[in-house]
């Protein structure tokens, strides 16, 4: 049962259940004694507090720092509690950070929500009067830190979801050390203010590289070592700017914003446009390539027919038709080759495909919040700003290339489920396994294509040898033209090279998934392993794309040189 302590007005018992927003300055403080016989979650739910992000203040420091700490509480912490909104929780003492944040909240135009968790023996005179709610623990709950975090767990529970929580440490000693360990176990970020002494400075010293760039020695204190190795620590200082502190705190407690979802949707839309343009350019290039191959074989066939068909062979218009084809085919080849040389659809396809894959990699890194998009690397610059900059760089590079002579296909907005963030297992399914499945299909298709075309080349070559053996040498030119056409297509499509690269990428992706499956549940929760998963996957795909682009560009350059060569034109006729 929750009982209300002695500072309420006559209707205090009724008013404290209406705490759904920002409390007015005139509301009396309620000291609430928790009942050890009731589930803690029931007691917290009875308060009817609106679930919101939690800022948990910890620490004890020299009183000489009061003015600086109060300034941070006023300019940053209390301000954020009002907008965008957060619940501030602390030990409620009438000194140190609890008192200072209470003063800072009282100085605001509106009172920020403050909640204190006090041990059972805390006297009302030692409780900061600016805290609207004080939860006083039962006498049997002697482990203060343990129940402080259990209460914090209940405060951020929002149905099936949980609001984010942030721990801010000023100075501190042994109790705060235990509290930071519990925060690390929950994977809650911890903002450590350097220059406040005690535990805060010890953590900062253990995490700050030396002047020569080397890492400091491993702490001898096992608790401090556990904090350094497992806690998600963000370092700042008492003299840090408001902007820097706001970026750190807001980046940890704000839910994924609508701006992030809108940016993801825009990034996918840009990808869809580039991807559709790449597909269109690929289709156009493939048609041109096929037309040139067929025309080369047709030219050789009709050149032979013009020689082997007797002049007296009826009907008389046949020779005229063959002669016209012999003339028109090389002209058509020259026109198509000139078009291909000028518009360079193959080059546009490669540039567009490379840009689309680069943009896709950035999108998935962003969705996984890994690498440069992780919390640790998005303190000074938000992940949204980084993704926007990457989109600008990729699309600007396209604008400076020959792609700017083509029209990008405008696609309707895609599936909005793609504009979501991904947990590691979701990333593996949506990215790693999806790409592995694509490589499986492509390797199967390319293997069949390589085998069938190479076998056909051998058969046609054998037919040519047979024709030469039976004195039909003139027809050997046709088999040679067919072999040359098929060999050119294999080289232009880079079938064999692509098959090798796809197989290598497929093996790498499967090895990455095998490594991930071998990790324990705790290891899978470690940010370093999550970053490694995403980094290895995206680097594997980047290497495959880079190799493909280089090989295709080289093949297209050779094809262009062949088409523009006078000797090639003569051979076709």
- Residue the block writes with tokens 């004195």: 471
Using pLDDT thresholds of 50, 70 and 90, give the confidence band for residue 46.
confident
- Distance from C-alpha of 34 to C-alpha of 1, rounded to nearest angstrom: 7
Give the whole-angstrom CA distance, residue 251 versus residue 374. 11
Phi, psi of 419 (to 5 degrees): -90, 45
Q: Give the pLDDT confidence of 505-534 residue by residue, as tens digits.
A: 999 999 999 999 999 988 888 888 999 999
What pLDDT score does 414 carry? 60
- Mean per-residue pLDDT for 473-484? 90
Q: Does 355 have pLDDT greater than 60?
A: yes
What digits encode the pLDDT tens for the residues 328-349?
Answer: 988 998 888 888 777 888 888 8
Q: For the residues 139-162, what does the mean pLDDT come to?
A: 91
Can you read off the two tokens belonging to residue 174? 């042994």
pLDDT at 32: 86
Q: What is the pLDDT of residue 25?
A: 46
Q: How confident is the model at residue 288, as a pLDDT?
A: 87
Which distant-in-sequence residues (6+ apart) come within 8 Å of 343 by Cβ?
405
pLDDT range class, residue 4, cuts 50, 70, 90? very low
**Segment 175-214, tens digit of pLDDT:** 999 999 999 999 899 999 999 999 999 999 999 988 887 8
The tally of CA atoms less than 13 A away on the side-chain side of residue 194 is 13
Please state the domain extents for the chain: 3-253, 258-410+422-572
Cα distance between residue 530 and residue 534, in whole Å: 6
- Find how far residue 348's CA is from the centre of its chain: 27
pLDDT of residue 559: 64
287-317 pLDDT, tens digit per residue, is 888 898 899 899 888 888 888 777 666 676 6
pLDDT at 61 over 90: yes
Kindly state the percentage of the chain with pLDDT values over 70.
89
pLDDT score of 117: 95
Residue 439, pLDDT above cutoff 90: yes
Residues 114-146: tens digit of each pLDDT: 999 999 888 888 999 999 889 999 999 999 999
Rounded to 10 deg, the angle between the 345-368 and 383-399 helix axes is: 180
Percent of the chain with pLDDT over 90: 47
Q: Are 62 and 171 in contact (CB under 8 A)?
A: yes
- E strands, 70-188, are 87-90, 114-118, 133-136, 157-158, 161-162, 165-171
Place of tokens 């032979």: 304
Furthest-apart CA pair in the chain: how many Å?
A: 125
Query: What's the CA gap between 376 and 68, in Å, rounded?
Result: 25
What CATH number is given for 3-253 in this structure? 3.40.50.450
- Candidates 412, 403, 283; CA nearest to 354 is 403
Name the one residue in this structure whose structure tokens are 């085919």.
Answer: 329
Q: What is the 3-state secondary structure (H, E, C) of 142-156?
A: CCHHHHHHHHHHHHC
What is the per-residue pLDDT across 369-379, written as a single tens digit (0 to 9) for each?
Answer: 998 998 778 77
Indicate if the pLDDT at residue 389 is higher than 50: yes
Least confident segment among 5-14, 421-430, 437-446: 5-14
Q: Which residue has the tokens 């609207």?
A: 132
Q: Which of 417, 568, 413 is nearest to 481 (CA)?
A: 568
Distance, C-alpha 337 to centroid of its chain:
42
Q: Are 89 and 57 a contacting pair, CB within 8 Å?
A: yes
Angle between helices 258-308 and 383-399 (to 10 degrees): 30
Burial class of residue 340, CB neighbours in 10 A (0-12, 13-18, 19+): buried
The per-residue pLDDT for 376 is: 77
Contact criterion met (CB below 8 Å) for 411 and 269: yes
Residue 530 and residue 371 in contact, taking contact as beta carbons nearer than 8 Å: no
Instruction: Give the pLDDT score at 104.
Output: 93
Residue 13 has pLDDT above 50, yes or no: no
């Amino acid at each position: 049962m929750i009982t209300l302590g002695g500072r309420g007005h006559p209707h205090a018992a009724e008013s404290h259940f209406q705490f759904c927003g920002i409390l007015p300055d005139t509301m009396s403080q309620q000291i609430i004694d928790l009942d050890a016989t009731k589930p803690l979650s029931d007691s917290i739910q009875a308060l009817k507090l609106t679930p919101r992000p939690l800022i948990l203040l910890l620490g004890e420091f020299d009183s000489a720092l009061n003015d600086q700490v109060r300034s941070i509480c006023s300019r940053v912490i209390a301000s954020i509690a009002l907008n965008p909104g957060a619940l501030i929780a602390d030990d409620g003492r009438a000194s140190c950070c609890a008192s200072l944040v209470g003063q800072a909240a009282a100085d605001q135009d509106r009172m920020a929500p403050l909640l204190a968790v006090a041990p059972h023996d805390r006297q009302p005179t030692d409780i900061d009067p600016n805290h609207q709610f004080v939860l006083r623990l039962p006498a049997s709950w002697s482990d203060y830190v343990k129940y402080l975090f259990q209460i914090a767990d209940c405060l951020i529970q929002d149905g099936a979801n949980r609001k984010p929580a942030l721990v801010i440490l000023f100075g501190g000693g042994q109790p705060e050390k235990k509290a930071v360990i519990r925060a690390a176990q929950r994977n809650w970020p911890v903002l450590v203010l350097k220059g406040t002494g005690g535990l805060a400075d010890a953590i900062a010293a253990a995490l700050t590289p030396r002047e020569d760039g080397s890492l400091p020695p491993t702490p001898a204190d096992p608790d401090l070592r556990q904090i350094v190795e497992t806690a998600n620590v963000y370092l700042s200082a008492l003299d840090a700017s408001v902007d820097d502190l706001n970026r750190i705190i807001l980046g940890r407690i704000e839910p994924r914003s609508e701006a992030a979802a809108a940016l993801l949707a825009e990034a996918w839309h840009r990808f869809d446009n580039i991807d559709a343009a790449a597909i269109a350019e690929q289709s156009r290039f493939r048609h041109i390539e096929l037309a040139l191959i067929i025309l080369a074989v047709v030219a050789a066939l009709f050149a032979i027919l013009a020689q082997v068909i007797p002049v007296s062979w009826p009907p008389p218009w046949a020779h005229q038709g063959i002669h016209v084809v012999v003339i028109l085919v090389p002209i058509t080849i020259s026109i198509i080759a000139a078009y291909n040389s000028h518009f360079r659809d193959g080059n546009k396809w490669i540039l567009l495909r490379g840009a689309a894959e680069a943009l896709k990699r950035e999108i998935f890194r962003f969705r996984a919040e890994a690498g440069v998009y992780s919390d640790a690397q998005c303190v000074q610059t938000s992940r949204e700003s980084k993704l926007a900059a990457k989109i600008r760089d990729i699309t600007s590079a396209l604008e400076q290339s020959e792609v700017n002579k083509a029209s990008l296909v405008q696609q309707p907005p895609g599936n909005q489920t793609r504009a979501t963030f991904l947990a590691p297992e979701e990333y593996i399914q949506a990215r790693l396994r999806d790409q592995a499945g694509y490589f499986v299909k492509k390797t199967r298709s390319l293997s069949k294509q390589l085998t069938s075309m190479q076998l056909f080349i051998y058969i046609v070559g054998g037919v040519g040898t047979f024709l030469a053996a039976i004195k039909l040498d003139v027809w050997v030119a046709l088999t040679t033209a067919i072999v040359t056409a098929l060999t050119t297509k294999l080289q232009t499509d880079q079938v064999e090279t692509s098959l090798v690269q796809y197989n290598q990428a497929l093996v790498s992706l499967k090895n990455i998934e095998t490594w991930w499956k071998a990790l324990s549940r705790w290891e899978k929760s470690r940010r370093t392993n999550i970053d490694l998963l995403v980094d290895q996957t995206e680097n594997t795909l980047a290497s495959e794309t880079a190799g493909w682009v280089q090989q295709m560009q080289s093949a297209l350059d050779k094809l262009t040189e062949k088409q523009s060569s006078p000797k090639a034109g003569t051979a076709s006729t």
